[in-house]
Structure 1
């Protein structure tokens, strides 16, 4: 009996086609290389072959890469990596104790497409090296300078020649010249400005706000003395301001000068840090000034127990979607959490280090229709009962109970069974 021939067609060795990674098109290689780190691109892929070197230098691969060497990396190794990174667009030297002139010079000579630069001021950085950086990398849009005490007026004037600058972050105190006045006169396209521990006068601040009012949309001011209250009246010049962060507004146990806040209906993000006592008579005018905010973050703000600030801003700011209370002593309790029900658009709530919140507050939070993100950190009076209450909240997407000591493993497993889609974070030891 003859054996039936197989239906499969046999292919001779000559007809077989050998496929390797070198046969892949450039678009596919870029997708594969996108999973590689900065060190793998610079130290490995570029030395495989000429084609891989060309593909590894594609703009798509370098768009989101940041080179941030640690403090233990030698200067020679940094210079070598910069020379191998002609497409590099972001460098963070803030971890380096000493940034040398050779590092800055090599950065300008090798990385002509640089867009973001963060570095700490250093005595070794010369005016000549900064000028070389400015000439070779004119497209820098974001610049962060720390330890300004090491920068003299000639160096800062060179940095002011980056005419395309949109984001400027200045940290450190320097009493030898008026940094704010220089910022006001230069950087014509500045949109994001952060001034931390930079001394300035009332005249400098007024001049800055008037010059930048047409472009400035993000402003952060970290004030170190009481004299910086003069910042408040001049914020009205910034008609396009969307994000406002004020740090160290006043010392503890002093009233925040909310009556000095101007009307800023364009601000949607507000953060207040290192504040003092919040008085309801001041807060009423304050929250009317920011009636359109969508994000509110309060840090180290205190209230008198008789003042219900929560009820006030819940009615004056109906568009709030995200709220953070960080060490706001006396501001919250279970009954005041109920006032948050007026915020129908609230999606995220974070409460940190508040010992007045108990399981009763969870019953009120269940009635917020759009709440998706809920986080509690160091709230010692919250127990495992809260997990059972929140298990009947199917719309919840993220839940965190970090360092809340009264949680049991049994209640956590119960919540996971009830809400399998929920992303749950528990960073504290759980009782068995």
Structure 2
């Protein structure tokens, strides 16, 4: 009877530290739509800033509910309004109630419309600012340079700044900026790379619409950016001659390389990149449709490579994945929306000797799949198939939590992940 009484203890009696631990395991949707409305005590604990330090608030509900949640002020640390049906009142509520915002992502027009309606500077505590979607007029970079003293990370997702605007802004922030994402060519036709040489502390650089108009003489200027360790390139079209694509001789210190819409054109490009990037540890391909099995076979040239991500690829097959076993230090592998991979590939990857984390997409198979029984569309993933017991298996787009109970009982870690398209967001940097 005593144990039954303990089991029926009311949840509002749990101490704050236990509730915070429980909340940290909850899904994002539960955090913003359910937990704050259970009781007053849960709502108070829900406001704790430690809970929100690593969570991005992305509202998907109606305007009234968004404003209500903002007014509760649960110490939101990061807010993404890029997909929200914004109006002026939502932005105003956010500015008034959420004083702890350090990261903000929102449409450019909404940001500038609100900024220009006020006589005093706002968003002064922002460290990370991502402005999405709309093109805009010039001279607005002056506001960012003059009125955001804590700004360290900036990304433009539209082709909006002129050469003069960018020069003014970079002169103001040249020693402060750590991360910068923008179009490779200014709105008036100038390459931005020579202008970036003043940013002495820049460590993360994202260039959109990287194209054949970028010449070696432009790239030579970035040799001064010795601190750049993370580089993201989004290409402007699907076809390039290799001579027009950088061989990364100008980025010798990069540790992380992200390639979007990248086209591999003949030869053995990864050997050249490996020679020029001896420190590279993380390599990511997103929507690189020409990346094929033979290309992956060349990744063994990267002697320090520990992480590989291949997202939205419909050319790579099981044989290509098998080539990754030759990458000597590979510990992390993410394959999302790679439709030609079969369930047999999963068994192969599970036995990579050094692999610690595998993220695998089960979403392109028809549900439900019988993962234990035989059949052409069954996984048949048994404990005996996983010789690497240190591996953490993480599956995208799979809702049946009981499917892998037979693995969990043998202390094999299995985690279900949300659809990666929802978690990637629109930023190349954050």
TM, length-normalised to structure 1: 0.69
More divergent stretch after superposition (195-204 vs 344-353): 344-353
Tell me if structure 1 keeps the 8 A contact 2:155–2:180.
yes
Within 5 A, what are the aligned runs for 1:78-117?
78-85=66-73, 87=75, 89-101=77-89, 103-107=90-94, 111=97, 114-116=99-101
Q: Which runs of 5+ in 1 are unaligned?
A: 1-18, 117-140
* SS of residue paired to 2:165: helix
The SS at the match of 1:288 is coil
What corresponds to 2:60 in structure 1? 70
Out of 236, 248, 257, the position equivalent to 2:197 is 236
In structure 2, which of residues 385, 389, 402 is the aligned counterpart of residue 418 of structure 1?
A: 385
The separation in 2 between residues aligned to 1:229 and 1:391, in whole angstroms, is 48
- SS of 2:328's equivalent in the other structure is coil
Partner Cα separation in structure 1 for residue 318 and residue 12 of structure 2: 61
Equivalent residues of 2:36, 2:43 under 8 A apart = no
Q: State the partner residue of 1:128.
A: none
- Distance in 2 separating the partners of 1:415 and 1:258: 52
How far the C-alpha of 1:85 sits from its partner, in A, is 3.7
For CA contacts below 8 A with separation 6 or more, give which structure has more relative contact order. 2
Give the secondary structure class of the aligned counterpart of 1:265: coil
Partner residue, 2:130? 169
How far has the Cα of 1:425 moved from its partner?
Answer: 4.0
Q: CA deviation at 1:90?
A: 5.0
Instruction: Map residues 374-413 of structure 1 onto 2, 5 A cutoff.
Output: 374-376=333-335, 386=345, 389-390=348-349, 392-396=351-355, 397-398=357-358, 400=360, 412-413=379-380
Q: What residue number does 2:410 align with?
A: none
CA contact (8 A) 2:292 2:320 kept: no
1:93 shift after superposition: 4.3
Contact 1:275/1:299, CA 8 A, preserved across alignment: no
> Aligned with 1:234: secondary structure?
helix
Q: Does 1:346 align with 2:313?
A: no
| Matching residue of 2:272 | 312
Kept in 1, the 8 Å contact 2:75–2:100? The answer is no
Instruction: Give distance in 1, aligned partners of 2:241 and 2:150.
Output: 38
Distance, in Å, in 1 between the alignment partners of 2:394 and 2:85 is 39
How far apart in 2 are the matches of 1:226 and 1:86? 39
Give the length in aligned residue pairs.
Answer: 370
In structure 1, the residue matched to 2:156 is 195
The SS at the match of 2:129 is strand
1:257 to 208, 211, 215: 215
Measure the CA separation in 2 of the matches of 1:365 and 1:98.
Answer: 45
Superposed CA RMSD in Å reads 4.1
Partner residue, 1:44:
38
- Counterpart of 2:5 in structure 1 is none
Q: Give the deviation of 1:167 after TM superposition.
A: 1.6
Residue 296 and residue 409 in structure 1: after superposition, are their counterparts in 2 closer, same or farther (change >3 A)? farther
